[in-house]
Chain A
Amino acid sequence: MKFTLSWLKDHIDTSASLDEIVETLTRIGLEVEGVEDKTKTLAPYTVAYVISAEQHPNADRLRVCMVDTGNGSPIQVVCGAPNARTGMKSVFAPPGTYIPGKNITLGVGTIRGVESAGMLCSGSELEISDDHDGIIDLPADAPVGVPYATYAGLDDPVIEINLTPNRPDCTSIHGIARDLAAAGLGTLKGDAVPAVAAKGACPVSVTIEDQKLCPAFALRLVRGVKNGPSPEWMQRRLLGIGLRPINALVDITNYMTFDRGRPLHVFDAKKVKGNLTVRRAKEGEEVLALDTRTYKLDPSIVVIADESGVESIGGIMGGEHSGCDENTTDVLIESALWDPLNIAQTGRKLGIITDARYRFERGVDPAFTMPGLDMATKLVIDLCGGEASEATLAGEIPQSRLVIDFPWSEVPRLSGLDVQPAESEGILKKLGFQVQGSGERVSVTAPSWRPDIEGKADLVEEVIRIAGVDRILPKPMPRLEDAVAKPILTLIQKRTRLARRSLAVRGLVEAVTWSFISKDEAELFGGGDGRLALANPIAAELSDMRPSLLPGLLKAAQRNADRGLGDVALFEVGQTFASDQPEGQSIKAAAVRRGTARPEGVGRHWAGGAKSVDAFDAKADVLAMLATLGIPAGGLQIVAGGPAWFHPGRSGTLQFGPKNVVGAFGEVHPKILKALDLKGPLVAFELNLDALPPPKAKPTKMKPKLNLPDFQPLTRDFAFVVGRNVAAGDIVKAAQGAERQLIVGVDVFDIYEGTGIDPDKKSVAIAVTLQPTEKTLTDTEIEAVSAKIVGEVSKKTGAVLRG
């Protein structure tokens, strides 16, 4: 919403400065977005007289001008404008002036050997017009030395406010003035509505088909008008706020739109055939609107039609056919009310943004329907002459007025500011509210122009925004309990944080990738359910809610590789989606390693070659994370193979029993690499943090008793030859089970395949640690345990002790 200072002062008697007005507007909730004050931006520019303009000695296209700026001796200026000539008046800028159109600050310069101490300016250099063909050519009577902005009438600052959608009353300058007056900046004026000398009934009648869509429609004919350009004062104001003057009749409707927030429409009465009907458009109907575009209409759109068809899109834009031009002699002035929701929908559907739509979709003051028509009529008669008919009104002006039972104590209760009832009452009354009754509780009626007022809280807002939110002093909020603060994070919140830190500690870099991925990607990673597809994705590759964090991470790794950073290690801890229900959303942790981005080091190193990442790096990552989370490794099973996006032979599944799979790790499947256009080596893991078991509840924080055995542990090594497909884990498990009381550790320290071993076999060497608890073991006892271990491993895995 834009307006000029002088226009505002039509509505408020104030001695406040522009700065005070601007500051107050923002303070009371009418946020000022910008102030364009040409008297400030154009302050250095003055009217000057060109005493002489002579050919530059060294340049064909330049002239050397002596300029009288009204400020002492003449100044020499080199000028390149073709129209610079002796005896003209133009606009002068002294050195040090910022030239907006050129984005430079002038200095004293020498141009082709001639000194130049300033500049004569074109309209485009001042950014007041597009004219850049020559310097501004002012009439001979322009007073030398006067600021150009003052001379040219550009001294009316333009204020633009960012209006919140709840304030239709401030789509009018009058409404803005009312708020300022309530805030103590002056006295509101201009409330009087002129009487119109009307003769005879309006010859055109109006029928409204659906009063919900158009509650009221007032119309009046003015005969014998002479339409032409509107007066200069009106044009200047319209230009000031960025509107193009058309002709007096049209300009009056625009003027009323801003002055009073009352959009109107004018029809050339001679082009209207018969009576008017306000109705839904018919399927297939079209209208050529005033913006010279043709709009296809449908029954959701409300139009004003005469007997030959659609003349106007109700509340949004008039039609070209019955528009007023300089030949118009009889004019029909419309002042109507429209359904805000329907206007908003129509505006969006047709893509039309007009000042009328802006107001009607917020809610135009119903009570001003007839006064607005009278005011416009008066302007038409004043500016164009003519004779007005009576107004005709179809439908009726809605009268519903909300009365709010309001205890004054509501203001301090919600705001914390002890505003006295007298002050609150004064504010409400100045804003146009009616306050009835006295004492602690009163009845407050909202003015017709405030459809946003619904209840007590709204009244509190009115009082405090005018009284000043800055009067409310911050007040400490006491603790809920007078006690040491208790921990606040939930289990999953704690685990999410720890997971992040533990992965970062392993050299992984956290990424945050889109929650939506392409349908193809979703399908490749176990998703693609239609219920998780967006109806209106912002781009085709961001269409489906992600079932997994991996596609985003894998693609991110490749993007980095494409930039020359191929050894990347990325992780993400974030939400994934298995259904559109809250239970379908879970927090997963995932990591991707590419190239040589191994935990121990990245790239080539003098102490060892550049080893590529492998599935065990991913396994180490996930196990490290689980350890950090305090998940006991005991219940966790690692099973060969993983979901389809992993290499079937180089991946593993993490589970707490077959029915509780929590994640997987491994090398990314070559088919995935191909489908996503990735280059390996790429390994990854993904684990569902929500699926992890909660820690066991314990009655105290005591750690279990520490039993330190009195006897030294001892280690025995065994090398087994087994089938190549036997899992080392099974050998370890079998060894562990051989003598549970004694065996405290089994480590695999060598795997060998090759010479000396059958091609379908491998050698697995394990070190078993025995921890005696009651006495030192004798050789015989150790032999017995060893035999048990060999026996158990052979039984479970078919292993043979390597000879």
Chain B
Amino acid sequence: MTDLNQLEHDLLSQVEAAGDEAALETVRVSALGKKGSVSDLLKTLGAMTPEERKERGPLINGLRDKVQGAIMAKKETLAEAALDARLSAERIDVTLPVPEAPESRGRLHPISQVIEELTAIFADMGFSVAEGPDIETDYLNFTALNFPEGHPAREMHDTFFLRPDEKGERKVLRTHTSPVQIRTMTTKAPPIRVIIPGRTYRHDSDQTHTPMFHQVEGLVIDKQANIAHMKWVLEEFCKAFFEVEQVKMRFRPSFFPFTEPSAEVDIQCSRKGGEIRFGEGTDWLEILGCGMVHPNVLRNCGLDPDEYQGFAWGMGIDRIAMLKYGMPDLRPFFEADVRWLNHYGFRPLDIPSLVSGLTS
């Protein structure tokens, strides 16, 4: 018996002493290999009597299992040590910068963002988006909208004109998006609910005016739409757009050729530390013009003003962007200064929606 005990002790000592996988393999071969010491013992089992085998078998098999187990355990220990050694050699400096992701470099211009914001709001109220050309006829930009002959807006110092064509007709760069109202009313039967965002042009350039700017108009035509509805639409819009619980609006009777009655709308706000806050304060800020579509405009579109009625409004997209997001000046909107665009622009996947909110 002692020989088995001695062998076991020797082999386990050798396993324990193995310093690497190769040494361990040598031990394994010497014990469990074809000619290994344990293998030799196992071979003797065949020549034994059943009684002898019954007694020796479990002992020899037990020895084999123990040695095998010790080798496996040692192998794992050695592998772990080797991995530890490898891992401790493999190090990166995780503070090294990676290139800034394109998704974080890209920006959307505030005008694009604001158009998407207001489209989301008005779409919820059943409005679709109508568009029209920037180069308009004098008729659609002025006459059809009830601008009288000789109105100052028809002069060269207010409006951009193209050179007269062969027929002597002088096209204009639209001074408002209102011609699209006419285009809509003459091609689509009521009920009509559209918003009309787009580029507009006026012969004006100073600190607060640029020769090109953006406007959004709204138009509702049916057989009931009245000022009470208009007030609701505009109040709901302002609350949703400026993302405030309450707004206080003031409708001041005013004058536009294409609406009657007409009003200018102020919104109450506070200006603390150069920051405009809506829904509080005592200042009034003009935000839009609106009114019931003038009977002459309806007639010009082939609609009977005794049967159809509706309202329209218009406001500056650049202006409401400035009011909401705090850009102090209009001119940089069109200067493409990346410092300004990076600061005031929007991240590529900041997609405004009423489901997740207009702004993140």
Interface residues of A (CB under 8 A from B): 26-29, 31, 164-167, 340-341, 344-345, 348, 412-417, 454-458, 460-461, 464-465, 469-470, 472-477, 479-480, 485, 488-490, 493, 497, 500-501, 503-516, 530-539, 542, 545, 552-553, 556, 559-560, 563, 565, 568-570, 573-575, 577, 580-582, 584-585, 599-602, 605-607
Closest CB in chain A relative to B275 CB, distance in Å: 24
Q: Which residues of A contact B123 (CB under 8 A)?
A: 485, 488
User: Contacts A413-B309, A473-B231, A545-B135 known; A535 to B96 CB distance under 8 Å?
Assistant: no
Q: Please tell me if the beta carbons of B252 and A29 are within 8 angstroms of each other in the complex.
A: yes
Q: Please tell me if the beta carbons of A582 and B228 are within 8 angstroms of each other in the complex.
A: no
For the complex of A and B, list the 5 residue pairs with the smallest distance between their C-beta atoms, beginning with the closest. Answer: A601-B99, A416-B228, A29-B253, A507-B102, A461-B261
**Bound form: Cα–Cα A488–B193 in Å:** 11
Q: Which residues of A contact B229 (CB under 8 A)?
A: 416, 475-477
Most central of B100, B157, B255, B261 by chain A CB within 10 Å: B261
Q: Which residues of A contact B164 (CB under 8 A)?
A: 535
**Bound form: Cα–Cα A464–B226 in Å:** 12
Which residue on chain A has the smallest CB distance to residue B210?
A514
A-B contact list, 14 entries, CB within 8 Å: A412-B226, A414-B261, A457-B295, A464-B227, A488-B127, A497-B112, A504-B348, A509-B105, A509-B342, A512-B112, A512-B333, A512-B334, A580-B171, A581-B133
**Bound form: Cα–Cα A482–B256 in Å:** 34
Most central of A504, A581, A582 by chain B CB within 10 Å: A504
**Bound form: Cα–Cα A534–B157 in Å:** 13
User: Contacts A510-B341, A602-B100 known; A538 to B129 CB distance under 8 Å?
Assistant: no
For B122-160 the 0/1 string (1 means CB < 8 A from A) is 011111110111110000000000000110100111001
Q: Which residues of A contact B351 (CB under 8 A)?
A: 501
Q: Which residues of B contact A511 (CB under 8 A)?
A: 109, 336, 341
Instruction: Count B interface residues, CB 8 Å.
Output: 93
User: Contacts A457-B294, A464-B261, A505-B103 known; A531 to B228 CB distance under 8 Å?
Assistant: no
Which residue on chain A has the smallest CB distance to residue B220?
A477
Which residue on chain B has the smallest CB distance to residue A466?
B253
Q: Please tell me if the beta carbons of A501 and B108 are within 8 angstroms of each other in the complex.
A: yes
Q: Please tell me if the beta carbons of A602 and B133 are within 8 angstroms of each other in the complex.
A: no
User: Contacts A414-B226, A505-B106 known; A531 to B252 CB distance under 8 Å?
Assistant: no
Q: Please tell me if the beta carbons of B135 and A585 are within 8 angstroms of each other in the complex.
A: yes
Q: Which of B100, B155, B157, B255 meets A167, CB within 8 Å? A: B255
Among B31-39, B58-66, B197-205, the stretch in contact with A: B197-205
Q: Please tell me if the beta carbons of A580 and B165 are within 8 angstroms of each other in the complex.
A: yes
Q: Please tell me if the beta carbons of A509 and B232 are within 8 angstroms of each other in the complex.
A: no
Which residue on chain A has the smallest CB distance to residue B294?
A457
**Bound form: Cα–Cα A513–B341 in Å:** 12
**Bound form: Cα–Cα A606–B99 in Å:** 10
Q: Which of A348, A461, A513, A533 meets B336, CB within 8 Å? A: A513
User: Contacts A485-B126, A513-B336 known; A460 to B261 CB distance under 8 Å?
Assistant: yes
Q: Which residues of B contact A457 (CB under 8 A)?
A: 260-261, 292, 294-295, 305
Q: What 10 new A-B contacts, CB under 8 Å, besides A29-B252, A506-B102?
A: A460-B261, A472-B227, A474-B235, A475-B232, A477-B225, A480-B191, A504-B108, A504-B348, A513-B336, A536-B203
Closest CB in chain B relative to A572 CB, distance in Å: 8
Q: Please tell me if the beta carbons of B108 and A585 are within 8 angstroms of each other in the complex.
A: no
**Bound form: Cα–Cα A728–B104 in Å:** 34
Q: Which residues of B contact A27 (CB under 8 A)?
A: 252-253
Q: Which of A416, A559, A573, A601 meets B226, CB within 8 Å? A: A416
Q: Which of B109, B163, B231, B342 meets A474, CB within 8 Å? A: B231
Residue B111, interface by CB 8 Å: yes
Residue B77, interface by CB 8 Å: no
Q: Which of A29, A461, A489, A568 meets B260, CB within 8 Å? A: A461
Q: Which of A537, A575, A605 meets B134, CB within 8 Å? A: A575
Which residue on chain B has the smallest CB distance to residue A530?
B163
Q: Please tell me if the beta carbons of A470 and B261 are within 8 angstroms of each other in the complex.
A: no
Q: Please tell me if the beta carbons of A532 and B162 are within 8 angstroms of each other in the complex.
A: yes
Q: Which residues of B contact A341 (CB under 8 A)?
A: 149-150
Q: Please tell me if the beta carbons of B336 and A488 are within 8 angstroms of each other in the complex.
A: no
Q: Please tell me if the beta carbons of A503 and B252 are within 8 angstroms of each other in the complex.
A: no
Which residue on chain A has the smallest CB distance to residue B156?
A536
Residue B3, interface by CB 8 Å: no
**Bound form: Cα–Cα A504–B128 in Å:** 25
Q: Which residues of A contact B254 (CB under 8 A)?
A: 29, 31, 164
User: Contacts A480-B126, A577-B135, A580-B165 known; A473 to B100 CB distance under 8 Å?
Assistant: no
Q: Which residues of A contact B73 (CB under 8 A)?
A: none
Residue B212, interface by CB 8 Å: yes
Q: Which residues of B contact A413 (CB under 8 A)?
A: 226, 309
Q: Please tell me if the beta carbons of A458 and B260 are within 8 angstroms of each other in the complex.
A: yes
Q: Please tell me if the beta carbons of A599 and B102 are within 8 angstroms of each other in the complex.
A: yes
Q: Please tell me if the beta carbons of A505 and B349 are within 8 angstroms of each other in the complex.
A: yes
Q: Please tell me if the beta carbons of B253 and A465 are within 8 angstroms of each other in the complex.
A: yes
Q: Which residues of A contact B86 (CB under 8 A)?
A: none
User: Contacts A472-B227, A505-B103, A506-B106 known; A166 to B255 CB distance under 8 Å?
Assistant: yes
Closest CB in chain A relative to B112 CB, distance in Å: 6
Q: Which residues of B contact A531 (CB under 8 A)?
A: 162-163, 165
Which residue on chain A has the smallest CB distance to residue B225?
A477
Which residue on chain B has the smallest CB distance to residue A536?
B156
Residue B233, interface by CB 8 Å: yes
Q: Which residues, 215 to 270 on B, are CB-close (under 8 Å) to A?
A: 220, 225-229, 231-233, 235, 250-255, 260-264
Q: Which residues of B contact A26 (CB under 8 A)?
A: 252
**Bound form: Cα–Cα A605–B134 in Å:** 45
Closest CB in chain B relative to A685 CB, distance in Å: 16
Q: Which of A506, A568, A605 meets B338, CB within 8 Å? A: A568
Q: Which residues of B contact A503 (CB under 8 A)?
A: 106
Q: Which of A472, A533, A538 meets B163, CB within 8 Å? A: A533
Q: Which of A469, A474, A568, A602 meets B232, CB within 8 Å? A: A474
Q: Which residues of A contact B255 (CB under 8 A)?
A: 29, 164-167
User: Contacts A472-B227, A512-B333 known; A28 to B345 CB distance under 8 Å?
Assistant: no
